[in-house]
Chain A
Amino acid sequence: MTPLYFGTGQRRLFGVLDPAETRSSQAQAAVICYPWGHEYIFAHRALRYLSRQLAARGFSVLRFDYYGSGDSAGDESETRLSGSRKDIVSAIQELKEICDAKAVVLIGLRLGASLAAQIAAECRKDVAALVLWDPAVSGPEHLKLLEIEWTEMAQRHSTYLGNESERRRGARYGLPITDELAMDVSAIDLISIVDKLPPRTLCLCTEALPSHNAWRAALEARPNGPLALENFSDIHPWLEGNLETVGRLPLAAIGRITTWLAP
């Protein structure tokens, strides 16, 4: 495990590299794209575990904090998804240089999966495969989910939910969310880019959502080869655990990803 900074002076990003524990003839590399906001905080533990599992199977893995999140520079209010996509591209470049790889696997969870899909849909030659773990398929749907999750969390912890002016300022998502960022998220539409996803794409869903019927149909109807949407049960690592689930890991989802990438 090697913590590091990369990016530019104006956009300094924090990441952790888990180097491959075994060597293969061709360097294998993966970039993990975190979710946003409170989902990032809770998912950190699971994604770190995924990273270690992949490193044990011969992948060099870089997971990193977007600008304005975690240990990276910037304020949350500066977050724009165009910037977060640039951060992913920086992370791809950094990892390729570190481990001398020609291409990487992009693995994303929730909003991170949607951003990874958008990058992969640019038909980059250096994205060898894509893993979408419970992605935000529809931006407006995702914003609603974030608000519900935050409200449930606040209700669980507090007898006070804040007044309307605080909610308007963005407390409804737990972190300040600007109008611009809300517009960015609203614009997410994974169905519209289904045809541009790499042929080697794994779509995993542990939470059934209304958007999934249309997404599944679009994945199966791809002219350049159908993709399957895999549904199964597991805990949701992006949510705060209760006394029974706190600290538990989504071993089924992590196991599926690792065996799909390194059978």
Chain B
Amino acid sequence: MKAVRENVYTVGPSKSLVAAVTEPVHVAANNATPVIVILNTGIIHRVGHQRKFVMLARELAARGYSVVRFDFSGIGDSERRKDHLPALEGCLDDIRVILDWLEVSRGQRRAILLGLCSGADHAIIYAGSDPRVVGAGLLDPMIPPTRRFYLHYILHRLARPRSWLSFITGNGRLFTTVRKRVFKLKSGEGHAGSPEDERVRVFLKDVYARAIKNDVQLLSVLTGASDTRQSSYREQILDAFPELDLSPLLRAEFFEDSDHLFLFEHDRKRLHAIIIDWIETANFREVQEGAVDTAALTKLVRGIAMVGGQIAMFGGQVFDGQLI
């Protein structure tokens, strides 16, 4: 294990983004390992729930990697943007600003983006547009339901005495829910902007297709004991996008007993071990020439922003008019 050091920087044209860098004390001049960039989970600042990203950054740095944890504009300690970009576009531009800074000031030309929940969504949406991104670690990303997911869902509800009690007492929520869900799946509709919305699935399919084209290594960690219950098995990410061949680039993991936030210490330890193993063993490609495809990215996200609902909240900065 190597000794680590931590420093904090203000980054960007107006020095408005706060970024904490954790790295080995002695970084070899020819160090070619990619830098790991950890993104916010919703509006939680860069420390992460249960301080998980601080501890992960220190573990990775002790193994020789540089890790950056930064706050999106308006979240944590970072200042609000002044250009009035929509929230999602602002977050994606913030990632570009951080990668520009890493390249110019620290010579880092390869990056792995890592995020939980909305952070995972930001990571995969951005991953296909920047040749510097060689990996995306996706912890419980937004994932469309599949037929196998619904089957698990039905069986799970059938196994709960409370579901049967509701049925007997006439509430029948189990069957109402299933009927609604199956109907939505068949019709391709669903709550606007939710993972059940076919427009969201097509958007995510395009996002993953762009990541494949950019030759980005992917780690998907799904959880099975979350309140959101949007995933129920390891291969759901493959089944959700049958048009794509994700397998060559994807390592898929499933934490059946873990919640969405990895609240329990044993889940966090297992999660950290998997992330470290993936970073140390995945075949991250070498540096590619090329510029960030901002135009295509903007077109992509403006299209989905029109759908509204959950997907439009990817930026996570606007709540009840209290934008700070």
Q: Which of B76, B225, B263 contacts A44 (CB 8 A)?
A: B76
B227-253 to A contact mask, C-beta < 8 Å, 1/0: 100000000000000000000000000
Q: Which of B9, B49, B258, B322 contacts A247 (CB 8 A)?
A: B322
Q: Which of B7, B47, B324 contacts A41 (CB under 8 A)?
A: B47
Asked if residues A174 and B320 are in contact (CB atoms below 8 Å), the reply is no
Query: Given the interface contacts A38-B49, A157-B226, does A70 sit within 8 Å of B54 by beta carbon?
Result: yes
Contact mask B34-52 → A, CB, 8 Å, 1/0? Answer: 0000000011111101110
B48 CB to closest chain A CB (Å) equals 8
Contact B43 A247 (CB under 8 A): yes
**Nearest-Cβ distance from residue A23 to partner chain B, whole angstroms:** 22
* B264 pairs with A162, CB closer than 8 A: yes
Closest chain B CB from A9 CB (angstroms): 12
Q: Is the CB of A3 within 8 A of B10?
A: yes
CA distance A73 to B190 in the complex (A): 46
Which residue of chain B lies nearest to A12 when distances are taken between CB atoms in the complex? B6
* Residue pair A76, B51 in contact (C-beta under 8 Å): yes
Tell me whether B257 is interfacial, beta carbon within 8 Å: yes
Nearest CB to that of A46 among chain B residues? B324
CB <8 Å contact, A248 and B263: no
Cβ-defined contact, B322 with A158, below 8 A: no
Contacting residues, chain A, for B8 (C-beta < 8 A): 3-5, 14, 71
B265 contacts chain A at the CB level, 8 A cutoff: yes
Cβ contact of A71, chosen from B10, B20, B226, B320, cutoff 8 A: B20
B 199-230 to A, binary, CB cutoff 8 A, 1 in contact else 0 = 00000000000000000000000000111000
Within 8 A of A (CB), among B62-84: 76-77, 79
Complex-state Cα separation, A157 to B324, whole angstroms: 27
Query: Per-position contact with B for A226-242: 1 when CB-CB < 8 Å, else 0?
Result: 00000000000000000
Interface residues on chain B, size class: 35 or more
Q: Please report whether the interface of chain B is mostly helix, strand, loop or mixed according to DSSP.
A: loop
| B142: interface (CB < 8 Å) | no
A159 to B255 alpha-carbon distance, docked (Å): 13
- B18 contacts partner chain A, Cβ-Cβ < 8 Å: yes
A114 CB–B CB distance under 8 Å: no
Say whether A249 contacts B264, CB under 8 Å.
no
Q: Are B259 and A38 in contact, with the CB atoms below 8 A?
A: no
Given A16-B77, A174-B50, answer yes or no on A157-B227 (Cβ-Cβ < 8 Å).
yes
- With both beta carbons as reference points, the residue of chain B lying nearest to A42 in the complex is identified as B44
Query: Given contacts A76-B51, A171-B264, A247-B322, is CB(A158)–CB(B6) below 8 Å?
Result: no
Q: Which residues of A contact B322 (CB under 8 A)?
A: 247-249, 251
Does A153 sit within 8 A of B, measured CB to CB? yes
- The distance in angstroms between the C-alpha atoms of A263 and B9, with both chains bound, is 35
Proximity bits, A156-177, B CB within 8 Å = 1, else 0: 1111101000100101001110
Q: What residue in chain A is nearest B265 (Cβ atoms)?
A: A171
Given contacts A49-B324, A73-B6, A175-B51, contact A157 B79 (CB under 8 A): no
Q: Cα distance A50–B90 when bound, in Å? A: 24
Q: Which residues of A contact B55 (CB under 8 A)?
A: 75
In chain A, what residue has the closest Cβ to B318?
A: A247
Report A58-87 residues with CB < 8 Å from chain B CB. 69-71, 73, 75-76
Contact flag A248-B320 (CB < 8 Å), given A69-B51, A160-B225, A171-B265 = yes
B265 touches A166 (CB 8 A): yes
| A145 interfacial by beta-carbon distance below 8 Å | no
* B316 shortest CB reach to chain A, Å: 8
Pair A1/B77 contact, Cβ less than 8 Å:
yes
Q: Which residues of A contact B54 (CB under 8 A)?
A: 70-71
Can you identify 8 A-B contacts, CB atoms within 8 angstroms? A48-B77, A71-B20, A157-B260, A158-B226, A158-B259, A159-B259, A160-B258, A249-B322
Nearest 9 A-B pairs (CB), nearest first? Answer: A247-B319, A158-B259, A157-B259, A3-B8, A160-B225, A159-B225, A160-B257, A158-B225, A157-B227
Residues in chain A within 8 A of chain B (CB atoms): 1-5, 14, 16, 38, 41-42, 44-45, 48-49, 52, 69-71, 73, 75-76, 153-154, 156-160, 162, 166, 169, 171, 174-176, 246-249, 251
Chain B residues in contact with chain A, CB under 8 A?
A: 6-10, 18, 20, 42-47, 49-51, 54-55, 76-77, 79, 225-227, 257-261, 263-266, 316, 318-320, 322, 324
